């Protein structure tokens, strides 16, 4: 395990595997271009090591040049791609092969294709050492790649985390062990929102409230939002797969978070299992499920008080409140079993001052 700034990384791809992949790419390209003199164009900074080893493995006439673009800041793609070092001259009529270290969403590649689109090159090809095929959503088909990798954040062999790690001979992946992923349960009035706010700030977590995410996506007419709406409009429940996809997007959008608080999902054991499967595919897991517990009479008093201030009608009617409690108990019971079987269920006394409850939550997290 190595540490770069605030993050930990664990070994992922060995030096030997990398060298074999480089050689494979070089041999494949040689088979296509050995009789011409192609220009290899490395994309800086990340590709410098790949370009160097690639050229040593490519034993035919060729030229080399570099372009420089920038799109990543820390762990997230900012989406802004700038040209910092321009195209080589005299590429008209030549075979140009781009050498990229990694292709992720394909945004950088799109910019490159655009850059070269008004040059009169004879052939334009893309070779990338690493290729995250699951997240790639560009139109251009990648011509050559060394290794297909899952959607993990990697460093080493030219790739950095905030400029560190480029000099490693092997590739490491972000270690998610230090993440804190929580599922938060609680009856209405139990103080979930207040405590989630605290946990979020204290541990740098991202709070994902499924209800909020749905409303946001529907309001903004995203593809997933429209899909979800098509079910809701028919009076059907949104299928778990759609909700999971939405969660996936939220998790993907926040790679800098040190963990997530899932709120409002899962609601059934089947959903809990789907969530586990999705997290596992990201090398993540739920660390704890916390239920904020309080006696019904205390909660009713709290909600009635809240109803007076907020004007929420469902907080002003004792019968409606009791119905919501009943629904909660019915739904969470099987989930409680599911997480108890995994030794992840923690019940926290939700009666007391905000600080007292916060203190209890902190103890649970410290024990993980």
Active site residue 267: yes
Q: Which of 21, 99, 126, 154 binds ligand 5GP (CB under 6 A)?
A: 154
State the alpha helices, DSSP H only, in 204-317. Answer: 210-219, 223-233, 240-253, 269-281, 296-310
Q: How far apart are CA 209 and CA 196, in angstroms?
A: 10
Residue 227 burial by Cβ neighbours in a 10 Å radius (0-12, 13-18, 19+): middle
Q: Give me 223's structure tokens.
A: 């593809």
Stretch that binds ligand 5GP, among 153-161, 185-193, 207-215, 308-316 (CB under 6 A): 153-161
Phi, psi of 11 (to 5 degrees): -55, 140
Count CB neighbours of 140 within 10 A: 14
Q: Which of 159, 224, 242, 365 binds ligand 5GP (CB under 6 A)?
A: 159
171 touching ligand 5GP, by CB under 6 A:
no
The DSSP output letter for 238 is P
Stretch that binds ligand 5GP, among 6-14, 151-159, 189-197, 262-270 (CB under 6 A): 151-159
CB of 40 to ligand 5GP, least distance (A): 16
Stretch that binds ligand 5GP, among 83-91, 95-103, 259-267, 324-332 (CB under 6 A): 95-103
Q: How far apart are CA 256 and CA 210, in angstroms?
A: 20
71 touching ligand 5GP, by CB under 6 A:
yes
CB of 70 to ligand 5GP, least distance (A): 8
Q: Which of 108, 209, 210, 289 binds ligand 5GP (CB under 6 A)?
A: 108
* Residues 47 and 99: beta-carbon distance below 8 Å: yes
Q: Which of 7, 107, 206, 207 binds ligand 5GP (CB under 6 A)?
A: 107
Which of helix, strand or coil describes residue 178? coil
Q: How far apart are CA 87 and CA 71, in angstroms?
A: 17
The residue annotated as part of the active site, out of 282, 306, 320, 360, is: 306
The residue annotated as part of the active site, out of 94, 107, 187, 267, is: 267
CB of 245 to ligand 5GP, least distance (A): 19
CB of 112 to ligand 5GP, least distance (A): 9
The residue annotated as part of the active site, out of 245, 324, 331, 336, is: 324
* Angle, CA 111 vertex, CA 108 and CA 113 arms, to 5°: 110
CB of 149 to ligand 5GP, least distance (A): 8
53 touching ligand 5GP, by CB under 6 A:
no
Distance of CA 197 to the CA centre of its chain: 21
* Residues 100 and 47: beta-carbon distance below 8 Å: yes
Q: Which residues, numbered 173-232, are part of the site for ligand 5GP (CB under 6 A)?
A: none
CB of 7 to ligand 5GP, least distance (A): 11
41 touching ligand 5GP, by CB under 6 A:
no
160 touching ligand 5GP, by CB under 6 A:
yes
Q: Which helix (H) or strand (E) holds 124?
A: strand 123-131
Q: Which is nearer to ligand 5GP, 108 or 176 (CB)?
A: 108
The DSSP output letter for 105 is S
Q: Give me 213's structure tokens.
A: 């995410």
Which of helix, strand or coil describes residue 298? helix
153 touching ligand 5GP, by CB under 6 A:
yes
Provide the phi-psi class of 292: left if phi over 0, else alpha when psi is between -120 and 50, else beta: beta
157 touching ligand 5GP, by CB under 6 A:
no
Active site residue 306: yes
Which spans of this chain sit near ligand 5GP (rule: CB under 6 A)?
A: 46, 71-72, 77, 101-109, 153-155, 159-161
| Positions marked active-site | 192, 267, 306, 312, 324
């Amino acid at each position: 395990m190595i540490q770069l700034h605030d993050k930990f990384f664990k070994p992922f791809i060995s030096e030997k595997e990398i060298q074999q992949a480089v050689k494979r790419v070089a041999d494949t390209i040689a088979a296509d271009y050995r009789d011409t003199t192609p220009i290899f164009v490395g994309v800086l900074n990340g590709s410098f090591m790949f370009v160097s080893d690639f050229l040593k493995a490519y034993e035919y006439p060729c030229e080399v040049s570099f372009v420089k673009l920038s799109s990543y800041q820390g762990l997230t793609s900012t989406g802004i791609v700038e040209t910092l070092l321009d195209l080589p001259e005299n590429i008209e009529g030549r075979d140009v092969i781009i050498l990229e270290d990694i292709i992720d969403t394909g945004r950088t590649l799109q910019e490159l294709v655009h850059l070269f689109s008004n040059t009169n090159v004879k052939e334009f090809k893309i070779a990338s050492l690493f290729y995250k095929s699951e997240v790639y959503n560009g139109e251009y088909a990648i011509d050559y790649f060394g290794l297909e990798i899952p959607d993990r954040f990697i460093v080493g062999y030219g790739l950095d985390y905030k400029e560190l790690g480029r000099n490693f001979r092997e590739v490491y992946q972000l270690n998610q062990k230090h993440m804190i992923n929580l599922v938060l349960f609680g009856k209405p009035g139990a103080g979930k929102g207040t405590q989630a706010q605290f946990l979020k700030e204290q541990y740098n977590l991202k709070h994902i409230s499924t209800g909020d995410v749905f409303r946001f996506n529907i309001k903004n007419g995203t593809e997933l939002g429209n899909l979800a709406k098509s079910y809701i409009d028919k009076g059907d429940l949104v299928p778990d797969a759609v909700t999971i996809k939405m969660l996936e997007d939220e998790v993907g959008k926040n790679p800098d978070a040190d963990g997530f608080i899932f709120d409002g999902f899962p609601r059934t054991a089947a959903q809990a299992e789907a969530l586990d499967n999705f997290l596992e595919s990201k090398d993540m897991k739920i660390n704890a499920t916390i239920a904020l517990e309080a006696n019904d009479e205390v909660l009713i008093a709290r909600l009635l008080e809240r109803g007076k201030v907020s004007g929420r009608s469902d907080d002003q009617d004792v019968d409606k409140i009791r119905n919501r409690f009943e629904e909660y108990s019915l739904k969470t019971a099987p989930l409680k079993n599911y997480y108890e079987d995994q030794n992840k269920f923690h019940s926290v006394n939700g009666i007391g001052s905000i600080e007292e409850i916060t203190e209890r939550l902190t103890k649970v997290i410290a024990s993980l």
